Amino acid sequence: MPGVLQVRIVSRIPLLPGRLFTVVLLLLAGLTSGIVSAQSVVEDYAVRVSAATQTNPPRITLSWPGDPSSLSYKVYRKSRDATSWGVAVNLGAQATNYADAGVGLGFGYEYRVVKTATNMALATNYVGEGYVYAGFGIPLVENRGKVVLLVDSTLAPELAPELATLIQDLTGDGWTVLRHDVNRTDAVPAIRTLIRNDYTADPARVKAVFLLGHVPVPYAGDYMPDGHTDHRGAWPADGYYGDMDGNWTDSTINRSTAADPRNRNVPGDGKFDQSLFPSPLELQVGRVDMVNMPGLGASEVELMRRYLKKNHAFRHRFFTLEPRGLIDDNFGVFGGEAFAVNGWRNFAALFGADNTIAGDWLTTLSTQGFLWGYGCGDGTYTSAGGVLSTDLLVTNDPRVAFTFLFGSYFGDWDSTHNLMRASLATPGYTLTCAWAGRPHWVVHHMALGETIGFCTRLTQNNSTLYAANGAARLVHIALLGDPTLRLHPVVPPTNLVSRADGLGGMVLTWTPSSDPVLGYAIYRAATAAGPFGRVNAQFTTSTNYTVTPGVAGVYMVRAVILQNSASGNYYNPSQGAFREFTGTVSPPRLTVQRANQTLRLSWPTNFAGYRLETTSLWPLGSWTPVPDPPQISNGQNVVTQPAQDPQRFYRLQSP
């Protein structure tokens, strides 16, 4: 109700021996709409920064809409993975841009723009922030690492075709898939051990965990990030599966007052004590889970099948959503928390400040497509007031791919008919959902090709690097959806076929992408599971490619474009088109030409290791190597021999 008192109680919770972290427990009478501050709107609490780039001379220019109430701006810069910001550049009170000439082709730079402004009606100052990861010509990422795919064994048999497609799609986007089928009754430490074993075997390349189905859910903590005392206790904590070295305990918290038994946390019950992640997470984690959703008119298996089908459709761009963001904000400034800045500041970096609009969720998304959306309002487990509800999703299919939602209760997503999981159960579009507002999320790196999982882990590990609204590192921070998804799908080539060319090579042909491609990258692996290695050093602009010598195996072709966004541009590959080549590849053709009293014998240089042999006997036998080493001329190995014998035979001997 309007005017509800906002109280913050600061509690110190042990993290590691000798270390204390401050946790803000937000004790409110629920998240209730209508709290406002005079002369301020939510956009004021964000700097809606985007970037334009140029190559000659190299320059990145940041820009943002002005704020008449601003007092000063500061701009900071760092590399993507640096853990602190550089020295601030101070700008004037009415600055709306900043040009950085100290940049280079192929490098990404992360910027933070901080605004101090005044609310004259309340005689107080406030701060707004914005972030952008900018650059031009960011190199192609071909190998993304390994993803641990954990599949609920009760669903695996009925979803076998869709799982096979998912694995091929993950492989076709540069991932190596490590699949494990697990039981719903397995202990969560056993699941984590399975993941840790994969990680320990290859820590440099294991990057992500994708949970499909009702893989056992970790619970942890003694807190209530939505502010409801009946909801204090342990919340779902999938980040546990991404923490490879943290110490998680189950011995100290004794909290049994929560209304739902799921949230009660007592020693030895299998729910962890930690309200904060005990150490930085190493892995990106995402989950798709349709258990206990009987009101959606389809079985759990069918809801999972829906998700996997639209995941495939998005990756191959069978449908297109506009590069813009929608915000449906039913909380407003809320005493300065301004939850919807999650939309305003992130969407500016992804699409530009002018491509973010405020509107009603269902009304707008019933006819218009958006890549991202943010909605917040009074909550129950199954609804966000003024935005949508689980019941409404039975007959509505919002046209949005990536979503943030925020409100009371439903952030605790392992509940019956949960609103966030219902969003993923729609038939057509929505692929991810996260509870964003306590804390704020950062997803601006997606503008230059990073995955939503990368941004999830960055948000989970954030303490002070990005403004987080006092709830940083709390264990409820999680992603519902496929963590490997990227923002900009490219139309892939299709109809890939292969054949032997009769000259020892193999010809690939395909139907081109409908996008304005720079060219195509060709890859080969021994099996469909990969890993795939690049065959052509330079992109081919043709729709056919000859591999010489032809080697049996699985071939993959990806279209590559220079992807432009509101933060610059990067080389962006499509999903792969696959073809297994199992035909017999003939040896190189030996060409013989006679000129006067000499023979000129030649064969292609790209057949390494073949040697020239000769005999004068018939029937053929007693082959001996030709002692003269070949000379290279115009891509051919050339050997010259006298043409004096009445009969002489030559052959190429394979390596």
The stretch 54-69 carries a mean pLDDT of 95
Q: In terms of DSSP bridges, do strands 624-625 and 611-615 run parallel, antiparallel, or are they unpaired?
A: antiparallel
Which of left, alpha, beta for 471 (phi over 0: left; psi -120 to 50: alpha)? alpha
Q: Could you report the per-residue pLDDT of 525-565, keeping only the tens digit for each?
A: 999 999 999 999 999 999 999 988 778 899 999 999 999 99
Average pLDDT over residues 70-82: 96
Give the containing element (helix H, strand E) for 424: helix 419-424
609-637: per-residue pLDDT in tens?
788 999 988 888 789 999 999 999 887 89
Residue 245 pLDDT more than 90?
A: yes
All residues at 6 or more sequence positions from 233 whose CB lies less than 8 Å from its CB, including other chains: 221, 222, 223, 224, 255, 256, 257, 258, 263, 264, 265
- What's residue 19's pLDDT? 27
Where residue 635 falls (left for φ over 0; alpha for ψ -120 to 50; beta otherwise) is left
> Distance between CA atoms of 489 and 476, rounded to whole angstroms?
29
**What is the CATH topology of the domain spanning 591-653?**
Immunoglobulin-like (2.60.40)
- d(Cα 516, Cα 491) in Å, to the nearest integer? 10
Q: What is the pLDDT of residues 125-171, one digit of tens each?
A: 889 999 999 999 999 999 999 999 999 999 999 999 999 999 999 99
pLDDT value at 2 more than 80: no
Mean pLDDT of the 78-102 span: 96
Residues of the chain with CATH 2.60.40.10: 38-139+323-376+401-449, 494-581
Inter-residue contact 609 to 655 (CB < 8 Å)? yes
Task: Name 551's Cβ contacts closer than 8 Å, sequence gap at least 6.
Answer: 506, 524, 581, 585
Residue position matching structure tokens 């000659």 = 56
State the pLDDT at residue 24: 39
For the cut 80, the answer to whether the pLDDT of residue 29 exceeds it is no
Query: What pLDDT digit, counting tens, does each position of 267-282 carry?
Result: 999 999 999 999 999 9
Give pLDDT tens digits for 331-346: 999 988 999 999 999 9
Percent of the chain with pLDDT over 90: 79
What is the rounded end-to-end Cα distance, in angstroms, of the chain? Answer: 82
User: In sequence order, which residues have a C-beta less than 8 Å from that of residue 646 and are 6 or more positions away?
Assistant: none
According to the model, what pLDDT value does residue 595 have? 85
Displacement of CA 655 from its chain's centroid (Å): 44
Of 58, 167, 39, 163, nearest to 102 by C-alpha is: 58
Dump the DSSP string for 145-166.
Answer: EEEEEEEETTTTTTTHHHHHHH
| 197 contacts: CB under 8 Å, gap ≥ 6 | none
pLDDT digits (tens, 9 = 90+) for 167-191: 999 999 999 999 999 999 999 999 9
- What's the chain's average pLDDT? 91
- Whether pLDDT at 27 is above 50: no
Q: Calculate the alpha carbon distances from 117 to 66, 69, 345 in Å.
A: 11, 5, 16
Q: Where does the pLDDT of residue 15 fall: very low under 50, low under 70, confident under 90, or very high at 90 and above? A: very low
Q: Which two tokens stand for residue 335?
A: 């005493």
Binning pLDDT at 50, 70 and 90, where does residue 122 land? Answer: low
CA quadruple 633, 635, 637, 641: dihedral sign: negative
Contact 446, 401 (CB under 8 A): no
Q: How confident is the model at residue 123 (pLDDT cuts 50, 70, 90)?
A: low
Is residue 35 pLDDT above 90, yes or no? no
Give the span between the Cα atoms of 392 and 133, in whole angstroms. Answer: 36
What pLDDT does 3 receive? Answer: 32
Beta strands in 201-258 (DSSP E): 206-212, 219-223, 233-236
Backbone angles phi and psi of 305, in degrees to 5: -65, -40
SS3 assignment, position 641: strand
Architecture of domain 494-581: Sandwich (2.60)
Residue range 38-139+323-376+401-449 forms a domain whose CATH class is: mainly beta
- Report whether pLDDT(477) > 70: yes
Q: Are 382 and 405 in contact (CB under 8 A)?
A: no
Strands 108-119 and 124-138: antiparallel
pLDDT in tens, 506-526: 899 999 999 999 999 999 999
CA distances in angstroms from 179 to 50, 91, 300, 301, 489, listed in the order given: 39, 51, 21, 19, 24
Query: Whole-prediction pTM value?
Result: 0.87
- CA distances in angstroms from 500 to 379, 381, 506, 582, listed in the order given: 62, 59, 4, 10
Distance CA 58, CA 53 (A): 8
What is the pLDDT at residue 40? 57
How does residue 330 score in pLDDT terms, banded at 50, 70 and 90? very high
Token reading at 346: 């992130």
